[in-house]
Amino acid sequence: MRIVTWNVWWRFGDWEPRQAAISQTLENLEADVVCLQEVWSAETGEDQAAELATALGMHYVRTPERWWKGYSFGNAILSKYPIIESESTQLPPTDGPGTRWAISAVLDRGDLEIPVICTHLDHRFDQSKRRQEQITAIFDLVAARHAPEQHPVVLAGDFNATPNSDEIRMITGESPTPVQGLAMTDAWPQCNDLPGWTWDKSNPYLKAAAWPQRRLDYVFVSWPRPVPLGNISSAFLAGIEPVAGVIPSDHWAVVVDLVESEL
């Protein structure tokens, strides 16, 4: 099963030509599941997630629309498989309008039900404590979907944190996880020695970035699981090459292939 996670940069930059570049890149990847962050919709009825799902022949769910100057900002899951259940959860702090959500879905592959969570954490350099609180809330969602003998939970998104941060270490078990007995495998280092920067100064949109050369975007798989089901067979970056002269986003996409059979 191929998973893609990608922050598609809302309506920033040269957003109109970027739409076609995003769609073409995703079409070329032939993913089974796509987790998107910073998708937009308009009060006029346009919806980026719906348009991409239609173009790719996929089902989709998205976070609730919260309008700002006529547009919303959110996350979406696109799936080749039918979506039989979904839920959106606002991450802390929940006492304001907020823009940070996790969206959960259960996908029906026929032989398996596959739980997927897509999220986007707060971005400021000084917000590690808030991101840790958001990870704690997300682990409640993972724990509700996780069963060691079934398909593992796939968690993907833009975490706005580097692999050595406290918040990412909470996910992988390198520091105590929020739920005892539950951790998640970071897909990228299972197949790569390279750093895998997704926020990269080679991206022309980041010429003035304050802190490039960071891996911020991840695919995680829950553990314990009935290996090799859910093991990572490959992980690579996409969206790096221009489409008709246009770089699709300020983030590179992460593409992960999972083993989908048991011994």
- Residue span of the structural domain in which 250 resides: 2-258
Q: Is residue 251 part of a domain?
A: yes
Rounded to an integer, the average pLDDT of 22-29 is 98
Q: Is the pLDDT of residue 94 over 90?
A: no
* pLDDT mean over 101-120: 96
Structure confidence at residue 66 (pLDDT): 85
At residue 142 the predicted structure's pLDDT band, cuts being 50, 70 and 90, is very high
* Mean of pLDDT values over 66-74: 90
Averaged pLDDT, 27-53: 97
Domain count for the chain: 1
pTM as predicted: 0.97
* 263 inside domain: no
C-alpha to C-alpha distance for 122 and 131, rounded to whole angstroms: 6
State residue 263's pLDDT score: 52
Per cent of the chain over pLDDT 70 is: 98
pLDDT digits (tens, 9 = 90+) for 200-215: 999 999 999 999 999 9
pLDDT for residue 96: 66
DSSP for the chain reads -EEEEEE--TT-SSHHHHHHHHHHHHHHHT-SEEEEEEEEEETTS-BHHHHHHHHHT-EEEEPPP--BTTEEEEEEEEESS-EEEEEEEEPSP-SS----EEEEEEEE-SS-EEEEEEEE----TT-HHHHHHHHHHHHHHHHHH--TTSPPPEEEEE--S-TTSHHHHHHHTSS--SSTT-EEEESGGGT-SS---SB-TTSGGGTT-SS-SB--EEEEEEES--TTTT-EEEEEEES-S-BTTB---SS-EEEEEE-----
pLDDT at 119: 98
Instruction: Quickly state the pLDDT bin for 114 (edges 50, 70, 90).
Output: very high
| pLDDT tens track for 216-225 | 999 999 999 9
What is the CA 177 to chain-centroid distance, rounded? Answer: 20
| The pLDDT value given to residue 68 | 84
Q: What is the CATH number of the domain that holds 51?
A: 3.60.10.10
